[in-house]
Amino acid sequence: MTKETKNTVSAETIVENLKEFAMELHQQAKDGMIDSVFEKDEDAFVLAKIAHDISHGLIDILQGKSADEALENVFSDDEDDIPVVGSIAVNLKTGHVKGIEDIKNPKLKEQITKAISKIADKLGGK
């Protein structure tokens, strides 16, 4: 009879691995959404968006929210989370952005600025 050994992993290791996984999933999903816009691949965008939403759910759970709270945030119909359709103009030579001046949420404004910067870099801007 062989002796069975168990691989014991501490809770701290599991939590750290989950944090790393959630953050990497989040970053890759964001990159996938941006790339799919350039490639005009709607299916890839939808899949990347799903992965992005899942990453937010994992991050919420790691921050102490319940599974129900995390799912509510992923599938929320909150009017503040509804995308706003508008126009954004970017001067690729200067990096100046027009069209985000009226956005009141500083976190959203920062995310949009970062995404626009990344897009401008891919298009050969500054």
If we measure between CA atoms, which residue out of 95, 121, 119, 123 comes closest to residue 33?
119
The tens digit of pLDDT for each residue in 56-100 reads: 999 999 999 999 988 887 776 554 544 545 677 777 777 777 888
pLDDT of residue 1: 47
For residues 123 and 91, is the Cβ–Cβ distance under 8 A?
A: no
Beta strand pairing status for 97-98 and 89-90?
A: antiparallel
Q: What is the pTM of this model?
A: 0.57
Q: How far is CA 27 from CA 43, 46, 72, 93, 115, in A?
A: 18, 15, 22, 26, 12
pLDDT of residue 79: 47
The tens digit of pLDDT for each residue in 1-45 reads: 455 657 788 999 999 999 999 999 999 999 998 888 888 888 898
Q: Provide the angle, in degrees to the nearest 10, between the axes of the packed helices 42-62 and 67-74.
A: 150
Read off the tokens for 97: 């952005």
**E strands along the chain, which residues?**
89-90, 97-98
If we measure between CA atoms, which residue out of 25, 20, 67, 78 comes closest to residue 49?
25
